[in-house]
A and B are shown apart, each in its own frame.
Chain A
């Protein structure tokens, strides 16, 4: 009996040591989270960064523990400024030695696309892709096609919905304040050139990031027959354009927005969602309406179980989408190479060889299959479209197909 007790105790100690040994062998990897706490997108950062941290907490608890991998995430303020990000990067590299970086927008891409291949660190974005970064052998990955692709998908859906048979006449309100803004309208312009039977860009209006008054410009494009006003820059441009349309008494020409300047954000900036009745937003990820959906359930779980400090917003969906892609890639790499052999280069190779299914992202994103040809999947992508109907934020189309556009 005594022998049996002793053997049991020894077995217990042995098991404990084994388990402890596993804990000691847990490999820790760092993710650099580039944010914008003091720049033009500071207003959405709480949700975006909160979502990034919440997904990491969930993944460490539910997935990483079983793999023997722990991920640590640290935030840096890039201020949505390419010069600031370029100057921060050497410090991030030295301090954190990240295996993955999470980016915020165009300035991150502009600042780091030349350095990341040398430093062997992939960057995962939350935004749509950019034409200026559409190059083979990517180190930067977008879970969404370019803004031009997303706009093109909307043009086609809108044309069918309104039963327009001629090319849809589109006016674009843009700005030269950021390389990303310029790229956005170039992409839409390219779509119209590639599909002249489907869309015609009647004019691209350039404004400041906080326009003074756009009534004259909007009147001009309406006179040119614009059936849709496309704004994928910021909320201030949406508000100024809406005020111009209201001043001109036009409610028949909707505005199409993107994720970062969408209906909820622009609604807050103009004083209420009802002001944007009949306008649209389009992007290739889940729309955060109040309905019960798989992405919303996942977000609710993060709030209740992991005390996530987030609201169900587009910014939250953006934070979720990029972190989920990064963590699924780390997960696949750890499974393939072993928990102690996860490097930035290995994660990048996994991105290019292992598809991420929509189920793996709880429906936040469509299926993603990256190739060596582009930083975003070139086929199989879809977009979701939302509007304000009777004052309510509503999904009007999900999984609308993304058209093909040539490079620009």
Chain B
């Protein structure tokens, strides 16, 4: 009984860290451009298809195929910024969000045209055999994914708070006009954010899909990561890690203990209930910036 509980707890936390990784994509793009990217799940799918194409289709080994897939995803992120968002500088946030909805539809169509609708076998990046301690069982893809997420999360947090480029991006996140007046290139910061968001989505795809199947349905993970980003607040990278752990753990426990009792998928709804509750109490999320305006 206690081992079951520990299994659900650990696996829930690891799934939560995967959500946190995808949610970091939301946060990075939001911090730089104030754009809530509705197409974050589609970036995961695009990154996934790049990995599949390089390794399963072209036949490259993991050591070459993975870096090339990341390079392709980064270029894709830069292209998105150059084609759509560089032209929208100074436009309303609403217009930019509408563009991300268009982007969602465009990427889905692009994937269908380029790769077709067939479900593809995703390469096995992490060993399939789980780590077993007595009755406790930990899937390796989620364990390695969790460790990668923590490293990436703290790395990005350090980057945004300690490095010159990161601080420039933080300034851009606060106010585009003020950043411009200080000689900071807002366009370059936004381009960097899209490239970073795209790379994070590709890491997410590798962890999420390793050894499983790939189709555009994988974009649903963007929706699962949404409560994590909102719970953390859209500005805090480290906060996303904590929010991911909270959402994942609760979801795992509810799925294990409540779903069989009520006969329904309460576990998948529960994170959204937490998100709504937090938004009622604290609209900026747990770690979101509080904007104080002096009049």
Q: Which A positions have Cβ atoms within 8 angstroms of B?
A: 37-38, 40, 42-43, 45, 175-176, 203-213, 215-216, 219-220, 234-236, 239-240, 243, 246-248, 265, 268-272
Q: In whole angstroms, how far apart are the Cα atoms of A207 and B259 in the complex? A: 10
Query: How many Å from the CB of B37 to the closest CB on chain A?
Result: 20
**B102 within 8 Å of A (CB atoms):** no
B26-34, B135-143, B235-243 - interface stretch: B135-143
Q: In whole angstroms, how far apart are the Cα atoms of A270 and B209 in the complex? A: 11
* Interface pair A208/B139, CB less than 8 Å apart: no
| Of the residues B4, B208, B213, B217, contact of A220 by C-beta under 8 Å | B4
Which residues between 197 and 249 of chain B lie within 8 Å of chain A, taking CB atoms?
Answer: 208, 211-213, 215, 217-218, 220-221, 224
Q: In whole angstroms, how far apart are the Cα atoms of A216 and B11 in the complex? A: 8
* Interface pair B120/A209, CB less than 8 Å apart: no
Closest 7 pairs (CB-CB, A-B): A42-B117, A271-B121, A206-B265, A269-B213, A269-B119, A43-B118, A239-B213
* Interface pair B218/A210, CB less than 8 Å apart: yes
Instruction: Indicate whether A43 sits within 8 Å of B137 (C-beta atoms), given known contacts A204-B263, A247-B129, A270-B213.
Output: no
Query: How many Å from the CB of B54 to the closest CB on chain A?
Result: 16
| Of the residues B4, B141, B224, contact of A213 by C-beta under 8 Å | B141
* Interface pair A208/B259, CB less than 8 Å apart: no
Q: In whole angstroms, how far apart are the Cα atoms of A317 and B15 in the complex? A: 39
* Interface pair B221/A210, CB less than 8 Å apart: yes
**A/B interface sample: 27 pairs, CB < 8 A:** A38-B108, A38-B109, A38-B117, A43-B118, A43-B215, A206-B267, A208-B220, A212-B15, A212-B208, A213-B15, A213-B141, A213-B142, A216-B7, A216-B137, A220-B256, A235-B213, A239-B212, A240-B212, A240-B213, A247-B129, A248-B137, A265-B119, A268-B119, A268-B121, A269-B119, A269-B121, A269-B213
Q: In whole angstroms, how far apart are the Cα atoms of A45 and B139 in the complex? A: 34
Instruction: Indicate whether A206 sits within 8 Å of B137 (C-beta atoms), given known contacts A45-B117, A236-B213.
Output: no
Q: In whole angstroms, how far apart are the Cα atoms of A176 and B166 in the complex? A: 42
Give the tally of cross-chain contacts (CB within 8 A). 101
A243 / chain B contacts, CB cutoff of 8 Å: 128, 211-212
A239 / chain B contacts, CB cutoff of 8 Å: 121, 212-213
A234 / chain B contacts, CB cutoff of 8 Å: 217
* Interface pair A216/B8, CB less than 8 Å apart: yes
Q: In whole angstroms, how far apart are the Cα atoms of A270 and B218 in the complex? A: 15
Which residues between 3 and 31 of chain B lie within 8 Å of chain A, taking CB atoms?
Answer: 4, 7-8, 11, 15, 18
Query: How many Å from the CB of A276 to the closest CB on chain B?
Result: 12
* Shortest Cβ distance from B118 into A: residue: A43
B263 / chain A contacts, CB cutoff of 8 Å: 204
Instruction: Indicate whether A219 sits within 8 Å of B137 (C-beta atoms), given known contacts A246-B128, A268-B119.
Output: yes
B18 / chain A contacts, CB cutoff of 8 Å: 212
**B116 within 8 Å of A (CB atoms):** yes
* Shortest Cβ distance from A270 into B: residue: B121
* Shortest Cβ distance from A212 into B: residue: B15
* Shortest Cβ distance from A185 into B: residue: B263
Which residues between 112 and 127 of chain B lie within 8 Å of chain A, taking CB atoms?
Answer: 112, 116-121
**B134 within 8 Å of A (CB atoms):** no
Q: In whole angstroms, how far apart are the Cα atoms of A40 and B211 in the complex? A: 20
* Interface pair A203/B224, CB less than 8 Å apart: no
B211 / chain A contacts, CB cutoff of 8 Å: 243
* Interface pair B130/A247, CB less than 8 Å apart: yes
Query: How many Å from the CB of A186 to the closest CB on chain B?
Result: 9
Q: In whole angstroms, how far apart are the Cα atoms of A134 and B8 in the complex? A: 38
* Shortest Cβ distance from B255 into A: residue: A206
B8 / chain A contacts, CB cutoff of 8 Å: 216
* Shortest Cβ distance from A223 into B: residue: B4
The residue among B117, B121, B218, B259 with the most chain A CB atoms within 10 A of its own CB is: B117
Query: How many Å from the CB of B102 to the closest CB on chain A?
Result: 16
Q: In whole angstroms, how far apart are the Cα atoms of A130 and B112 in the complex? A: 30
Q: In whole angstroms, how far apart are the Cα atoms of A243 and B127 in the complex? A: 11
Query: How many Å from the CB of A260 to the closest CB on chain B?
Result: 12
**B264 within 8 Å of A (CB atoms):** yes
**B155 within 8 Å of A (CB atoms):** no
